[in-house]
Amino acid sequence: MPAFVIPAVEGRTDRASTTEQAGTWGSILPAVWSFMLAARERGLGTVWTTAQGPLERELAGVLRVPYDKVMLATFIPLAFTIGTDFRPAKRVPREQVLHWDRW
Ligand SMILES: Cc1cc2nc3c(=O)[nH]c(=O)nc-3n(C[C@H](O)[C@H](O)[C@H](O)COP(=O)(O)O)c2cc1C
């Protein structure tokens, strides 16, 4: 059965400084990514989505999450995939995004 995993992080970044935002998102993002990799290793597919963001307050209400203190950081659909014929995604050439010593 497919499921949604909804990682949450304490603290809201709505009006936070860039430093605070970096600290908060940097606390949750690696954990979610680790989870996604672990799922993949077990034959489960996941995908990072944020399109549901505008409904966060409503969803927090349904889930009884204290919206003022906790952010629903992302929504991760989780399910066994149809087949395992995965290929690397199309990417911008590395030279266009990698900078050495200076921008
Ligand atoms: C910050 C972020 C938010 C995303 N939000 C969505 C989303 O709301 N809906 C969606 O279909 N994909 C979203 N994506 C893209 C998917 O995570 C995924 O990269 C895309 O579906 C391509 O999948 P693939 O890499 O397996 O081909 C988002 C990606 C990032 C990095």
C-alpha to C-alpha distances, 52 to 8, 61, 65, nearest whole angstrom: 14, 14, 16
Q: For tokens 């399109």, name the residue.
A: 51
First to last CA, the chain: 46
Which residue among 25, 32, 48, 91 has the greatest number of ligand 1 atoms within 8 angstroms of its CB, and so is best to mutate?
48
Would you say the CB of residue 90 lies under 6 angstroms from ligand 1? no
Nearest CA to ligand 1 atom 28: 49
pTM (2 decimals)?
A: 0.87
d(CA 27, CA 35): 13
| Tokens coding 29 | 């993002």
The partner residues of 78 in beta bridges, in order of sequence, read: 3, 46
Q: What is the pLDDT along the chain (103 residues), one digit of tens a residue?
A: 689 999 999 999 999 999 999 999 999 999 999 999 999 999 999 999 999 899 999 999 999 999 999 999 999 999 999 888 888 889 999 999 999 999 9
